[in-house]
Each structure stands twice: as structure tokens, then as C-alpha cells.
Amino acid sequence: MIKIFEFLYPKAIILELQSKDKKGAVSELVECVMKEKKLKDSNKAIASVMEREKLGTTGIGQGVAIPHGRTDAVSDLVGAVGISRQGVEFEALDGEPVHIIFLLLSPPDSGGQHLRALAKVSRLCKDKFFRQALLESKSKEEVLKIIQQEDEL
């Protein structure tokens, strides 16, 4: 069973996303991953995620988006989380702004792991108590703790 904790790093959490649009929010999260030195090329990573978005929005509804892409800009699965109090226009399936964004990046050859990570994040984000706890968190440590508690289940 894959654990989010294995690919989410403390510096890759943004409590107050500044961007109000999809590409801006993805760029902010990619920059966080860059700071963790887990990414070779931020432009390539952003391009892979935006290319995936062309196939259909990753705004899954209920205020959540899980943008993701496969790129050789990473050598392992990496994730980032952004929380937006004001909401990001993400063309979500339900037409609502997105407040929680989980970014996933993985190498081109990591199909199974990529899909398991997506499934795990998606399953967690369907839980309204989990979403509420993330939105109410006041620190990166609190976000990590909430995710870690869910990871244990």
C-alpha cells in the first residue's frame, strides 16, 4: 500500500496559494518541489501537467484538484499540496472553485505507482472530514500530521 507520506515533503506544502488560476497554482506547487531539490526542470514539469489537463480537468469536485503528470524532470514520485482560502478557478467538474490541490509528478515509466498514488489521494479527498481538517490547518506540520493519520488507516 502506497503512503502519501513517502512522496510528500514538508517544504512542498503551501498553506496560502496566491494564484487564482490553474496554471499559476500548478506553477506555485512545482516551484515548491523544486526547492526540495526533487525536480530537474520546473518548466518541463509544468508542461507535463498542463498537457494532462488538456485531456480533461483534474478538478474532481468538492473543492479538490489532483493535477498530475509524468515527466523525466523527476526521478521518483513527488507530491505537493496547496491550500487556497479564496479558491482557484480549475474548471472543476462541479464548476466550483478549488481549495485543495494535490500535485503529483512521476517519471514516465512509473505507471503503476503513479496510478496507486492518484487513487490514494483521490480516496482521501472524498472524505469531507479530511478536506475540512486540511482547510482548517494552521501550519505545514498540521497538514503533514493530518495526512499521516489518514495514511495509517
Note the pLDDT tens digit of each residue in 137-153: 999 999 999 999 988 76
Active site residues: 68
What domains, with CATH codes, occur in the chain?
Answer: 4-152 (3.40.930.10)
- What pTM, to 2 d.p., does this model score? 0.94
Q: How far apart are the first and last CA of the chain?
A: 11
Position 29 pLDDT exceeds 90: yes
Give the pLDDT confidence of 86-124 residue by residue, as tens digits.
Answer: 999 999 999 999 999 999 999 999 878 899 999 999 999
Question: How many whole angstroms separate alpha carbon 47 and alpha carbon 146?
Answer: 30
Handedness of CA 55, 60, 63, 67 (dihedral sign): negative
